[in-house]
């Protein structure tokens, strides 16, 4: 296939994999992350999106005396046994909202160490980052092999972005201290490390990503029978590494690939089955076990299959399909009585 492994949708520096390069020699000397310690210089512009279920908010703004836009993602971290013990103590204050018979609603104000919020900061943020996190109508496109070759792939090749951050991980220039497991085989090897959605403090919301060492495998569309050994090795060793490290059984893990992926170098997601992680729904997630089974049945399955994917109206790829009349914006639909 004519896939290009260097293609990405500019997701690399964001919450999908915003690297801790301030701790390495590879860090940009002008990075805001080398000195940022509070939000005193942050100027709020607008709320891009919020998710009440996941207790997450996406904010656009800027930092004084710093060029460029910034995105701040704030997320309430999950409870664990230690935090519960601290919250349910005499040091937490309760403010009653109301009570009725045996029921009472309160606001609880625990000590600061038990009231932490996970913050992800993207700076400088590109327009693509802003579009990614901005609330937008979403559509499902059924991508046939023909549509992939004539519409999707040319668009992705046109909008190429740097995957240096992937190279930095593979070559041990960044995030070495975060590696959970590594297989150094050049053909079937991979590096397993926490996704930045996970703070690695509790297994309830465990989320790791495995990045394959072999280049030239862009996405699910690239996979054939030649990659079965890689996929099976990744599945077996990735699950065992998590079982050994975090004591979660393989049957309690959700192991899957995204399509469309947010960056175009093959990677696989590992999440706790009980955790409703972003991107686990059928319009995006493909279980690794199913991918392996499909390829065993037909070596070129993913070159022949129609694959659905979700896309926002603000995404340039949506415009590509819109120009061909294959999808319409919500406001363009005409309803008849």
Give pLDDT tens digits along the chain (337 positions). Answer: 334 333 333 333 343 444 333 333 344 556 898 889 999 999 999 999 888 777 889 999 999 989 999 999 998 887 877 788 889 999 999 999 989 899 899 999 998 888 888 898 989 888 878 877 887 889 999 999 999 999 999 998 887 666 888 889 999 998 999 999 999 999 999 999 999 888 888 898 999 999 999 999 999 999 999 999 999 999 999 999 999 999 999 999 999 999 999 889 999 999 999 998 889 999 999 999 999 999 999 999 999 999 999 998 988 899 999 999 999 987 655 443 3
Whether residue 172 lies in the annotated active site: no
Residue 274: partners with Cβ closer than 8 Å, 6 or more residues away: 204, 252
> What residues pair up with 307 in beta bridges, in sequence order?
143
* Residue in 218, 211, 214, 224 with CA at minimum distance from that of residue 148: 218
Pairing of strands 117-125, 69-76: antiparallel
What distance in Å separates the CA atoms of residue 294 and residue 287, rounded to the nearest whole number?
A: 11
Number of Cβ within a 10 Å radius of residue 268 = 22
**Number of domains comprising the chain:** 2
Q: Is residue 49 part of a domain?
A: no
The alpha helices in the chain, defined as continuous H runs, are: 81-87, 127-133, 145-147, 153-158, 164-170, 228-246, 288-297, 301-304, 316-323
Same domain? For 312 and 197 the reply is yes
Q: Is residue 9 part of a domain?
A: no
- The CATH number of whichever domain residue 310 belongs to comes to 3.30.428.10
What distance in Å separates the CA atoms of residue 245 and residue 329, rounded to the nearest whole number?
A: 46
What distance in Å separates the CA atoms of residue 258 and residue 280, rounded to the nearest whole number?
A: 8
Q: Report the pLDDT value the prediction gives residue 25, as an integer from 0 to 100.
A: 35
What distance in Å separates the CA atoms of residue 104 and residue 65, rounded to the nearest whole number?
A: 47
* Residue in 328, 317, 336, 323 with CA at minimum distance from that of residue 148: 317
Same domain? For 91 and 236 the reply is no
**Tokens read off for 83:** 């935090």
Edge-to-edge order in the sheet of strand 42-51? 42-51, 56-63, 69-76, 117-125
Residue 317: partners with Cβ closer than 8 Å, 6 or more residues away: 152, 155, 156, 260, 311
Q: Is residue 60 part of a domain?
A: no
Q: Is residue 124 part of a domain?
A: no
Q: Is residue 250 part of a domain?
A: yes
Q: Is residue 59 part of a domain?
A: no
Q: Considering 123, 258, 265, 267, which one is annotated as catalytic?
A: 267
Same domain? For 176 and 319 the reply is yes
- pTM score, whole prediction: 0.70
Same domain? For 233 and 301 the reply is yes
What distance in Å separates the CA atoms of residue 226 and residue 232, rounded to the nearest whole number?
A: 12
**Tokens read off for 173:** 């220039």
Angle among Cα 208, 213, 218 to the nearest 5 degrees reads 85
> 263 exposed, middle or buried (CB, 10 Å; 0-12, 13-18, 19+)?
buried
Q: Report the pLDDT value the prediction gives residue 113, as an integer from 0 to 100.
A: 84
Structural domain harbouring 186: 136-323
Same domain? For 197 and 311 the reply is yes
């Amino acid at each position: 296939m004519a896939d290009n492994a260097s293609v990405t949708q500019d997701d690399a520096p964001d919450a999908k994999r915003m690297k801790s390069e301030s701790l390495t020699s590879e860090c940009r000397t002008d990075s805001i992350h080398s000195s940022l310690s509070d939000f005193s210089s942050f100027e709020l512009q607008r709320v891009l999106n919020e998710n009440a279920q996941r207790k997450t908010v996406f904010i656009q703004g800027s930092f004084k005396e710093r060029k460029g836009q910034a995105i701040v993602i704030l997320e309430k971290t999950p409870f664990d046994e230690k935090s519960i013990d601290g919250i349910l103590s005499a040091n937490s204050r309760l403010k009653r909202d109301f009570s009725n018979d045996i029921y009472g609603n309160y606001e609880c104000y625990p000590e600061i160490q038990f009231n932490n919020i996970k913050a992800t900061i993207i700076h400088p943020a590109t327009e693509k980052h802003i579009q990614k996190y901005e609330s937008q109508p979403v559509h499902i496109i059924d991508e046939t092999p023909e549509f992939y070759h004539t519409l999707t792939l040319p668009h992705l090749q046109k909008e190429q972005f740097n995957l240096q951050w992937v190279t930095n991980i593979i070559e041990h220039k960044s995030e070495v201290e975060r590696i959970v497991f590594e297989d150094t085989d050049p053909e079937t090897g991979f590096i397993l490390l926490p996704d930045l959605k996970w703070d690695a403090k509790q297994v309830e919301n465990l989320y790791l990503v495995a990045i394959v060492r072999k280049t030239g495998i862009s996405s699910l569309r690239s996979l054939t029978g030649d990659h079965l050994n890689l996929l099976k090795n990744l599945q077996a060793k990735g699950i065992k590494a998590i079982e050994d490290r975090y004591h979660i059984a393989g049957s309690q893990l959700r192991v899957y690939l995204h399509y469309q992926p947010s960056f175009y170098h093959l990677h696989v997601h590992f999440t706790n089955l009980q955790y409703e992680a972003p991107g686990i729904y059928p319009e995006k997630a493909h279980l690794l076990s199913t991918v392996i089974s499909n390829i065993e049945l037909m070596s070129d399955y993913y070159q022949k299959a129609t694959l659905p994917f979700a896309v926002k109206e603000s995404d340039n790829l949506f415009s590509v399909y819109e120009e061909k009349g294959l999808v319409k914006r919500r406001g363009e639909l005409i309803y008849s009585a």
